[in-house]
Structure 1
Amino acid sequence: MRMVLVIFMLLLSVVSKKETIKMEKVDDVVINPFMGCAPPAEGGPYSQPHSLVYANLTWEDLEPEKGFYDFEQIEEKFKFDYWKKKNKRLIVRVVLDYPGEAGHKDIPDWLYNEINQEGSWYEHEWGSGFSPNYINSKLIDYHEKLIEALADRYNKDPFISFIELGSIGHWGEWHTLQQDGIFIPFPLLPVAETLS
């Protein structure tokens, strides 16, 4: 009984302590960390206030040669030093298919050959490119190694706010449409979870 009374008194003392914070009224745009406007990291400076920038990292840029991860080129392209000096943080998304000019692909040549060119070339008014077969076992295995290399490089770097769910589909947005000329079905959930 005595122990229950002690615990009750401790809880009462914690609950009874109130702290009131009065916020000042401001007419400026409020910048919430990790939220709101996140312009492209390869641009800037921007007039709109922001605390974040984002980078779509293509596999072709990340691993141009099998087993060689070109982080220096990525960090230069997306101006890591510049944004760190500006006290901004980075959102990362890895993409395997970013629609653009006809005839381009966002996976490296070595991977394209290793998966036996499995996938679909497509052309559409909003962009063209190559959509790999996401259920190809080699693609899945190499993707896992790519994500491990990213984690080894940036896991403890506070500049990286978060890595967005991505990798599969157009723009890494988890969709491809058969009317785009893509005839390999979008992967089922177990594979999609593996590549996210």
Structure 2
Amino acid sequence: MRRRTFLHTLATVAAPLLAPTAAFATDDAVVVEPKELEGVLVNPGMGLETFNRFNPSGPKMPPGPGLLEPPANYPVCSIAYFRLWWQELEPKQGVFNFDRIESLLKQARAHGQDLALRFMPWFPPHWWQTPEWFKRQAAHYFRCRFRQWEGPQRGLSEQDYWAPDFNDAWFLDRTEALVQAFGEKFNGHPDLAYLDIGSV
């Protein structure tokens, strides 16, 4: 008797689950038929990025420093990645110039992209891109020699250059102030993807 009651209960519960799916269809059902893509699927916030340039689609923008024309076959990307020098962002101590960032944000939106930035306090052999006011006050730094192969005709070139001490308290204090000022102005901007720091 117990076995028959159990089977009857099981059949009652399972019947709706085993019913044909058509029984649940309604007149306002939406049928979606995905279409095959032949190009690159643009995944927002992931995958490839344009480097110091924007997608080839979108309005033509006036050329600026580091703005490169992408090749014709470069895929469309959701993020445009640009590197900016410290000298440009803070030409005088405590005086920040974010005009180019504002311009890049507008251009990124016009090209259907978010903007990613890298602040470059220093990068060999572009030692002059570190602000002069910082170098004059830096107590700890390095004198280095940069060697670069320039091809069979020119051979190996050497250049002496200045480099900051990334562990120095003065360097950390001033680069933190730069990031703080940037955050106060652009934190939460809808077209800003992320910021990384070139000294890390």
TM-score w.r.t. the length of structure 2 is 0.63
Q: Are residues 1:110 and 2:133 paired?
A: yes
Residue 43 of structure 1: how far off its partner (Å) = 2.5
Q: 2:106 aligns with which of 72, 75, 81?
A: 81
Corresponding position of 1:136: 168
Q: 2:49 aligns with which of 38, 41, 56?
A: 38
Local SS of the residue matching 2:130: coil
Local SS of the residue matching 2:189: coil
Q: Distance in 2 between matches of 1:93 and 1:112?
A: 21
Corresponding position of 2:40: 29
The structure with the largest alpha-carbon Rg is: 2
Q: Are residues 1:167 and 2:198 paired?
A: yes
Residue 99 of structure 1: how far off its partner (Å) = 2.5
What runs of 5+ residues in structure 1 fail to find an aligned partner? 1-19, 169-173, 175-196
Q: After superposition, what is the alpha-carbon deviation per residue over 1:124-148, rounded to whole angstroms, capped at 9, x for unaligned? A: 2169653211121111111111110
Local SS of the residue matching 1:83: helix
Return closer, same or farther for 1:44/1:156 CA change in 2, 3 Å cut-off. Answer: farther
Corresponding position of 1:156: 188
Q: Distance in 2 between matches of 1:106 and 1:50?
A: 29
TM-score w.r.t. the length of structure 1 is 0.64
Local SS of the residue matching 1:143: helix
Q: After superposition, what is the alpha-carbon deviation per residue over 1:16-43, rounded to whole angstroms, capped at 9, x for unaligned? A: xxxx986432111111111222221322
Q: Cα RMSD over matched residues?
A: 2.6
Return closer, same or farther for 1:84/1:113 CA change in 2, 3 Å cut-off. Answer: same
Identity %: 21
Amino acid at match of 1:105: W
**Aligned length, in residue pairs:** 145
